[in-house]
Amino acid sequence: MPENINAFLTGSLGPFGPLIAVGILGVLLILLTLPALLRRQKDPLDKLRETAKGGNARQDGKAALRTNAKNAKLDKYSTFLEPQDEKEYSAVRLKLLQAGYRSKDAVRTYHFLQFALGIGLMIFGLALVVLKSATGDPSTSSLIMTALLPGVIGYMAPKYWVTRRQAERQQAITNGFPDALDMMLVCVEAGQSMDQAIIRVSKEIRPGFPALADEFEIVSQEMKAGKDKTQVLRDMAERAGVTDVSSFVTVMIQSAAFGTSIAEALRVYASEMRDKRVMRAEEKANTLPTKMTLATMMLTVPPLLIILIGPSVYEIVQTLKAANF
């Protein structure tokens, strides 16, 4: 019986048929056993807490909003989907915050997408391996790359997406920060407090810079909730991940600590931010000729050579043809 199975697999899938069959069987067994391994019994303490909360529908709705239980189905897999190391969890959480994902289960969803896309595309790669083995005689390295490459791409795709969103959001905050400081300076000099100025700026800059408006709105809400202003500003700098915002927070904290005028500090720092933005624009403008050099040479030199040398080459070819005759 084993010899017949081996002969059938070898005849159907090629010389690596038994190995491919064992690999597919292993993946299927893993997928079948994962739900049983990841299933977690409900904690009795959680049951007591739910009983103590009562059956008020309004309170349940507020609790759902506070906990953001949109992806509650992933709660029982949190031990597997969330890093157990506090430092690693904080790093992933901060990266997602800087990318604009502020939900409670953002880390869990991020790791679930990595796991799901990795396994799903790996199964797709194994299907391609079976198809290639049935239709041809590919090499071992080609089969391995076909099976593993989609899984690696699926696992790295969420990380690439988050990194790209993080960079785009930080660039948007950097571009809009000088305008926000100018508007904040106008509000403070008009007699508004710092809290009122932040609220007004968050409303005014939202059409152009929604990411920066979100950060200012979070700051205003935390200040209304009674959180320490220094800690609120430091949290904003950490969420933004931009050097200009960190410097602004340092200036505001020092101004409050030493009792200096906030309007004067804002005026000086806003002027520096405007100069810095002009310098960034000039830097990009200065790099433009270097970037255009290659394109200019590729688009200009070949037509110029054709125009200058083409007639001479044509005359030489005609002379050689006449000499042969």
Dump pLDDT digits (tens) for 27-53.
Answer: 776 777 666 655 555 555 665 566 555
- In percent, the amount of the chain with pLDDT more than 90 equals 3
Q: What is the structure's pLDDT at 228?
A: 85
- Using alpha carbons only, give the angle 260, 263, 267 rounded to the nearest 5 degrees: 110
Q: Confidence band (pLDDT; 50, 70, 90) for 115?
A: confident
CB 17 within 8 A of CB 9: yes
| Whether pTM exceeds 0.75 | no
The angle at the Cα of 179, spanning 174 to 182, to the nearest 5 degrees, equals 130
Q: Is the dihedral of CA 123, 128, 132, 138 positive or negative?
A: negative
pLDDT value of residue 51: 56
Domains along the chain with CATH numbers: 2-168 (no CATH), 169-278 (1.20.81)
More confident residue, 155 or 7: 155
DSSP 77-116: GHHHHS-SSHHHHHHHHHHHHHTT---TTHHHHHHHHHHH
pLDDT > 60? residue 325? no
pLDDT at 60: 43
| 56: confidence class by pLDDT, cuts 50, 70, 90 | very low
Q: Residues near 178 by Cβ (< 8 Å), separated by ≥ 6? A: 270, 273, 274, 276, 277
- The 10 Å Cβ neighbour count of residue 186 is 16
What's the confidence (pLDDT) of residue 164? 92
Note the pLDDT tens digit of each residue in 286-307: 888 888 888 788 888 888 888 8
* Per-residue confidence (pLDDT) for residue 67, from 0 to 100: 40
Owner of token pair 């007591």 = 48
Q: What is the CA radius of gyration of the chain?
A: 31
Which residue carries 């067994």 as its tokens? 29
pLDDT digits (tens, 9 = 90+) for 226-265: 888 888 888 888 888 888 888 888 888 888 888 878 888 8
pLDDT at residue 75 tops 70: no
Rounded-to-integer distance, Cα 180 and Cα 159, Å: 31
